[in-house]
Every structure is written in structure tokens, then in C-alpha cells.
């Protein structure tokens, strides 16, 4: 999964990128050049499984982050700037709430407008080309209709992500890689003084109307505090959070919300060689999970030995779980649940 970090100038994008990637990302050489880095997805369930198996290798799921430069009318005219964002799965929109006189809602609308305006320019070019050349149009009538529908939507100053589409249209539109089409997680970057508001930031800043919108999520972090947390040991960080009455770090919540936004879940494979988290879409079948591991496993799929991660921990081992009769044998069409531990049985 790939996320693009975007925002107005000086909103704290690069700071967040550095914390997320623990300083291991490459930083863009010029303001318009994107930085790229990865972050392991924290997952307590996987850590607990690893404590049980003591594997040679522990592999967390990974998210790739792109740190884009500031979004301005000029930067959005630069093809290299846009190119870095075209192939991301979602956008992380960092809003400067620390030390800012401009209301968060105004900033959010401002950036949204830039995305919509940029997409409108792209769409007009495409529609114009198709209209001019009847030969080009052949076989593309459906696309043309979709583009026209999208253009009208944008002209109403609405982002493409908020369009109600059938799965086929959605796929076609995605292929055009419009920026306002991408699911977005709005991240309010709040001041240290407002830390106690972290879990209620949406209400505190009166942004309720941004909640529950199609393909959009909203959360808050405090960049300054996250930077400090990143320097602490796990024990220290946990005590620090408890001290402020917080259940988890802002970064954890940010990643969790990204999974929710994109409808992603995790399943695990566990053994003495490796314990590993895999990322799949909600509603995926056991055979899809097998394919995520290796296409051979999907082709020669027999059954998926399945157990919930916590049941496996309670049983103490796979064989104990088998004896207790809580290890299930599921077929290809079983809908994998978040937190399942799978062992794919296959032929050949």
C-alpha cells in the first residue's frame, strides 16, 4: 500500500513523514521532489504470536509513504510533482492546526479546491481530445460518458472521491489517476497544548460535517509529541500515553484509520521460520489470501487451516488448538476475518 502525504505549505508534512518512516526515508532534494520511505505497520497481535513461536523472522506489513512538496496552484501544474502522487492508493492530508490563525475547515477546503481544479484541467483536456477525434472515440463511449459525468461533478466543486459509482465505473475512473478521486485521510496536526483534545479533535474544531463522507476519514496527531514518542522505549511511550489518558499513539491511530479508509484487514501466517502479517481487502476469500502469499498456493489450494489469533494464543500451540477442536478447515470461499491465522494446505 502506498500513501501520499499532501498539504498546504508548512503544514508539517515532512515532519510527519520523518516520524512515520523513522528517519529512514529519502528526502526530496528540491521542494517539488518527493521523498519516499516505508513504515512497518505496528501490530500487537503479530508481536504476541511472535512471542509464542519465537520465529527466525518477524515480518510486519509495510506501508510506503510519499512526502510531496506543498500543494499550490504552481506545484499542481508541474507534471513531475503530480506524477509522484498519481500512483498512490490514498492521500494523507496534513492540516496545520498548531500555531495557525486560519481555521482548519478553510484550509481543508482550500486544498480540496486545488485538487478539484487540477483534475478539472486534466479532464477538460481528455474530453476535448475525444470530442475532436471521432476515430479516437470508437470503443471509448463508456469512458467518455464517465468523464463527462465526472466533469460535471467537479464543476460543482465536489471531489471525485464523493461520486457514487458502480464497481466497473470506479475501476475505470481509478485508471485515470485523478487526485481528487483518491480516498483521503485528513490528519489534523494539533498543538502540544491541545494534546488532551487528540481523541476529540473533530468535535473540538467543529469538523463533524467532514465525518462519514464517502472515501474520506479524519483523525488527529500532534507532530511534536509523536517526534518525542518516537525517541522513547516502548515502555516509556506507553507510560507517557497513559499519563495523558491516551490509548494509543497518534501514528498508530493514523495507520489504523488508513486501513479502515481503504477497507483493508490483516491476516497472519505463523510458524517457527517466520511470523508475518499480510494485508488484504475486507471481504477477500481464503483463496485470495492464499494468492497474496503465492499464486501457487491459490492454484493448488485444498483447505485453509484457520484460527483467530487470540484463540491460538490461548490454546498455546497449533496442535493444542487441533486437539481442542478450534482449528477450522475452511474452503476457498471462506471470507477471511481481520486477525485470522491461516495455514494454507495445498497439493503439489
Interface residues toward ligand GTP, by CB under 6 A: 7, 9-15, 69-70, 98-99, 189, 222-224
Q: Is the CB of 254 or the CB of 298 nearer to ligand GTP?
A: 254
User: Is residue 197 near Mg ion by the rule CB under 5 A?
Assistant: no
List Cβ neighbours of 247 (8 Å cut-off, separation of 6 or more). 199, 241
Shortest distance in whole angstroms from residue 43 CB to Mg ion? 28
Q: Is the CB of 26 or the CB of 281 nearer to Mg ion?
A: 26
What is the rounded (10 degree) CA torsion for 327, 333, 334, 340?
A: 80
Stretch that binds Mg ion, among 10-18, 108-116, 278-286, 323-331 (CB under 5 A): 10-18
**150: β partners:** none
Task: From the list ligand GTP, Mg ion, none, pick the one residue 98 interacts with, judged by a Cβ distance below 5 to 8 Å according to partner type.
Answer: ligand GTP
Question: Distance (Å, rounded) from C-alpha 319 to C-alpha 120?
Answer: 59
User: Is residue 14 near Mg ion by the rule CB under 5 A?
Assistant: yes
Task: From the list Mg ion, ligand GTP, none, pick the one residue 99 interacts with, judged by a Cβ distance below 5 to 8 Å according to partner type.
Answer: ligand GTP
Shortest distance in whole angstroms from residue 332 CB to Mg ion? 46
Q: Is the CB of 48 or the CB of 224 nearer to ligand GTP?
A: 224
Q: Is the CB of 255 or the CB of 298 nearer to ligand GTP?
A: 255
Shortest distance in whole angstroms from residue 65 CB to Mg ion? 12
Shortest distance in whole angstroms from residue 214 CB to ligand GTP? 26
The secondary structure of residue 247, as a DSSP letter, is S
Shortest distance in whole angstroms from residue 224 CB to ligand GTP? 4
* Distance (Å) of CA 333 to CA 167, 203, 291, 306: 20, 41, 13, 13
User: In the chain, count of helices (H) and strands (E)?
Assistant: 15, 12
Decide if 185 contacts 88 (C-beta within 8 A).
no
The residue at minimum Cβ distance from ligand GTP is: 223
Burial 90-103 (b: 16+ CB within 10 A, else e): bbbbbbbbbebeee
The cell for 231 is 525517541
Q: Is the CB of 25 or the CB of 291 nearer to ligand GTP?
A: 25
Q: Is the CB of 72 or the CB of 282 nearer to Mg ion?
A: 72
List Cβ neighbours of 16 (8 Å cut-off, separation of 6 or more). 5, 92, 94, 187, 189, 221, 223, 226
Q: Is the CB of 5 or the CB of 49 nearer to ligand GTP?
A: 5
User: Is residue 21 near Mg ion by the rule CB under 5 A?
Assistant: no
What residue ranges bind Mg ion (CB under 5 A)? 13-14
Amino acid at each position: 500500500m502506498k500513501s501520499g502525504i499532501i498539504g498546504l505549505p508548512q503544514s508539517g508534512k515532512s515532519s510527519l513523514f520523518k516520524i512515520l518512516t523513522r528517519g529512514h526515508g529519502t528526502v526530496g532534494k528540491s521542494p517539488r521532489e518527493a521523498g519516499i520511505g516505508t513504515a512497518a505497520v505496528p501490530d500487537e497481535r503479530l508481536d504476541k504470536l511472535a512471542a509464542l513461536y519465537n520465529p527466525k523472522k518477524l515480518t510486519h506489513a509495510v506501508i510506503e509513504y510519499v512526502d510531496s512538496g506543498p500543494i499550490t496552484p504552481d506545484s499542481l501544474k508541474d507534471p513531475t510533482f503530480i506524477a509522484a502522487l498519481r500512483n498512490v492508493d490514498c492521500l494523507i492530508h496534513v492540516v496545520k492546526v498548531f500555531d495557525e490563525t486560519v481555521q482548519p475547515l478553510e484550509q481543508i477546503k482550500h486544498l480540496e479546491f486545488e485538487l478539484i481544479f487540477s483534475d478539472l484541467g486534466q479532464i477538460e483536456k481528455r474530453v476535448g481530445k475525444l470530442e475532436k477525434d471521432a476515430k479516437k472515440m470508437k470503443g471509448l463511449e463508456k469512458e467518455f460518458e464517465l468523464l463527462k459525468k465526472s466533469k460535471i461533478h467537479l464543476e460543482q466543486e465536489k471531489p471525485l472521491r464523493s461520486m457514487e459509482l458502480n464497481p466497473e465505473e470506479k475501476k475505470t475512473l481509478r485508471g485515470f489517476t485523478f487526485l481528487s478521486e483518491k480516498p483521503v485521510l485528513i490528519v489534523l496536526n494539533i498543538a502540544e497544548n491541545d494534546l488532551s483534545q487528540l481523541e476529540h479533535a473533530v468535535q473540538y474544531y467543529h469538523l463533524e460535517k467532514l465525518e462519514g463522507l464517502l472515501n474520506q476519514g479524519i483523525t488527529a496527531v500532534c507532530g511534536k509529541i509523536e517526534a518525542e514518542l518516537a525517541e522513547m522505549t516502548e515502555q516509556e511511550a506507553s507510560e507517557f500515553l497513559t499519563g495523558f489518558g491516551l490509548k494509543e499513539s497518534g501514528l498508530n491511530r493514523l495507520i489504523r484509520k488508513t486501513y479502515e479508509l481503504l477497507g483493508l484487514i490483516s491476516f497472519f501466517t505463523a510458524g517457527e521460520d517466520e511470523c508475518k502479517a499480510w494485508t488484504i481487502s475486507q471481504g477477500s476469500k481464503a483463496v485470495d489470501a492464499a494468492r497474496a502469499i503465492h499464486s501457487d498456493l491459490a492454484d493448488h489450494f485444498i483447505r485453509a487451516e484457520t484460527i483467530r489469533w487470540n484463540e491460538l494464543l490461548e490454546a498455546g500451540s497449533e496442535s493444542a488448538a487441533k486437539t481442542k477442536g478450534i482449528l477450522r478447515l475452511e474452503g476457498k470461499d471462506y471470507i477471511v476475518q481481520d486477525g485470522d491465522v491461516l495455514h494454507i494446505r495445498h497439493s503439489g
